[in-house]
Amino acid sequence: MRVLKYKEAISEATVQAMEADESIFVTGHAVDYPSGIFGSTSAAAEKFPDRVFDCPSMENAFAGIAVGAAAMGQRPMFVYPRADFMFLSFDNLLNLACKWRYMYGGNAGHVPIVLRAVVGKGWGQGATHSQSPHAPLAHFPGLTVAMPAAPADAKGLLLSALTSNHPVILFEHRSLFDHEGEVDEAMEPIPFGKARIVREGHDVTIVATSLMVSEAVTAAEELAGRGISVEIIDPRTIRPLDEAAILNSVKKTGRLIVADTSWELCGFSSEVAGLVAEKAFKHLKAPVRRIALADCPAPVSMPLEEAFYPKASTLANAVLELTGQNTENMSHIDEVSLFKGPY
């Protein structure tokens, strides 16, 4: 199969979906620039100049505008160059979009809006350009919250979003945009609520989201050399959550680590830990372990950033601890970011 970059996979899904459905339009600040949201919208902008257009800075109203357009049969896709700007849209997302179908008893139709939000990390992007509010949003019934971690998922989940009947938010990690992977040329939507077993194993389960999936893979490779077999589950969507995939894995391994790209408190790592404590308790052989951002706003300075983000070595050591072994300095397995500023 062909290898594509994550951003190319998003781009391809967008173009294919727009070819198939002329009610799709794409907007948000900078979507029609030559740089097209880090290369993910430029092809669509070139191909469909009338249906890919810039948007003023008006995140609050636009989320409601998207709802109103969707109610009339259009399929808006709105892109946030940074997920942090989405807080301004929370009212229309949480009080209108995600409740629309339910609150009108199914009688006001569907509002299939798609929101793509890019999650920043590193290079001093700082406290207001690096957040991933997937857990706060997933808390609310009526939304679908997806976190594609690989190019194939970026394509497949976006295709599902663009053909689904309800509001979908995708968190796309900026650090993944140049990651490569095999991607089907055909339009194959990936259903929501279906986890991906990234790697099979029998000693420890790591449930990881977004960028933490590749960190988990690095850790698992290192640990495989030491005879520890790690299973990695990527839930792909936070809501709906594929509980069965997680529970089945834990039933097999008896040990769980959850690695997330946001904070711990009331976050996704707690969700999975709680789920397993409720529904796979008798299979657990050891305490669950949550791995998340340090519990402070994202700092800018390099050594603080280093300390702030968990990485492959953090995960590998957590596995060692959980399997009763000594931890050690494993920073050699951590990727050195090649990302260069300014943005």
Partner 1 sequence: MPPKTQPIDPLASENHETLLRLHEELLRVRHAELALAERYKQQEMRTPTHFGVGQEAVAVGVCAALEKTDVAYSHHRSHNHFLAKGGSVYRLAAELFGRETGCSRGRGGSVHLTDLSCGFVASSAILGEAMSAATGSALAFRLGNEKRIATAFFGDAVAEEGAFYECLSYAALKKLPVLYVCENNGYATESPLSIRQPAGADISGRVASFGVRTIKAEGNDVLAVLTAAREAVAYLRTEGTPVFLECATYRWLEHVGPFYDHELGRTYRTEQEVAGWQDKCPVIKSRAAILEAGAADEATLDKMQTDIQAVIQADIEKAYGDPWPDPQQLFDNIY
Ligand X SMILES: Cc1ncc(C[n+]2csc(CCOP(=O)(O)OP(=O)(O)O)c2C)c(N)n1
Of residues 58-117, those binding its own copies (CB under 8 A) = 60, 84, 87-88, 90-91, 94-95, 98-99, 102-103
Instruction: Say which entry of its own copies, ligand X, partner 1, none residue 195 contacts (CB below 5 to 8 A, set by partner kind).
Output: none
Q: Look at residue 321 and give the partner it binds from its own copies, ligand X, partner 1, none, a contact being a CB closer than 5 to 8 Å depending on partner kind.
A: none
Instruction: Establish if 66 lies at the interface with partner 1 (CB under 8 A).
Output: yes
Minimal distance in Å, beta carbon 39 to partner 1?
15
Residue in 25, 123, 192, 268 binding its own copies, rule: CB under 8 A: 268
> Contact at 8 Å (CB) between 149 and 236?
yes
| Residues of span 305-324 touching partner 1 by CB under 8 A | 306-308
Q: Would you state the structure tokens that stand for residue 23, as one six-digit string?
A: 């009610």
Candidates 3-11, 63-71, 198-206, 242-250 — which segment interacts with partner 1 by CB under 8 A? 63-71
Which listed option, ligand X, its own copies, partner 1, none, makes contact with residue 340 (CB within 5 to 8 Å by class)? partner 1
277 binds, among ligand X, partner 1, its own copies, none (CB under 5 to 8 A by kind): its own copies
Please name which of 39, 43, 41, 28 lies closest in space to residue 81, comparing C-alpha atoms. 28
Tell me the number of residues near its own copies by CB under 8 A.
Answer: 57
In order of 169, 214, 218, 309, 310, the CA distances from 263 in angstroms are 19, 18, 22, 10, 11
Shortest distance (Å) from residue 113 CB to partner 1: 9
Instruction: Pick one of 3, 19, 49, 104: the residue that binds partner 1 (CB under 8 A).
Output: 104
Nearest to 217 by CA among 259, 170, 156, 261: 259
128 touches its own copies (CB under 8 A): yes
Of 8, 12, 29, 59, which one is the catalytic site residue? 59
Position 273 contacts its own copies (CB under 8 A) = yes
Q: Which stretch binds partner 1 (CB under 8 A): 23-31, 150-158, 207-215, 244-252?
A: 23-31
C-beta of residue 224 within 8 angstroms of C-beta of residue 256: no
Structure token digits, residue 215: 């960190």
- Any idea which residue has 């999936």 for tokens? 213
Kindly name the residue from 29, 129, 134, 179 that is annotated as catalytic: 129
Stretch that binds partner 1, among 36-44, 61-69, 173-181, 217-225 (CB under 8 A): 61-69
Question: Which of 46, 325, 327, 343 is the binder for partner 1 (CB under 8 A)?
Answer: 343
59 catalytic per annotation: yes
CB of 169 to ligand X, least distance (A): 17
Instruction: In angstroms, give the least distance from the CB of 142 to partner 1.
Output: 6
Nearer to partner 1, 4 or 330 (CB): 330
Contact positions toward ligand X, by CB under 6 A? 29, 57, 59, 85, 88
Q: What is the 3 state secondary structure string of the chain?
A: CCEEEHHHHHHHHHHHHHHHCCCEEEECCCCCCCCHHHHCCHHHHHHCCCCEECCCCCHHHHHHHHHHHHHCCCEEEEEECCHHHHHHHHHHHHHHHHHHHHHCCCCCCCCCCEEEEEECCCCCCCCCCCCCCHHHHHCCCCCEEECCCCHHHHHHHHHHHHHCCCCEEEEEEHHHCCCEEECCCCCCCCCCCCCEEEECCCCEEEEECCHHHHHHHHHHHHHHCCCCCEEEEECCEEECCCHHHHHHHHHHHCCEEEECCCCCCCCHHHHHHHHHHHHCHHHCCCCCEEECCCCCCCCCCHHHHHHHCCCHHHHHHHHHHHCCCCCCCCHHHCCCCCCCCCC
Q: Indicate if 129 belongs to the active site.
A: yes
* Residues engaged in binding its own copies (CB under 8 A): 60, 84, 87-88, 90-91, 94-95, 98-99, 102-103, 126-128, 131, 133, 135-142, 238-239, 241, 262-263, 265-279, 281-282, 284, 286-290, 295-297, 299
Catalytic positions, written as ranges? 59, 129
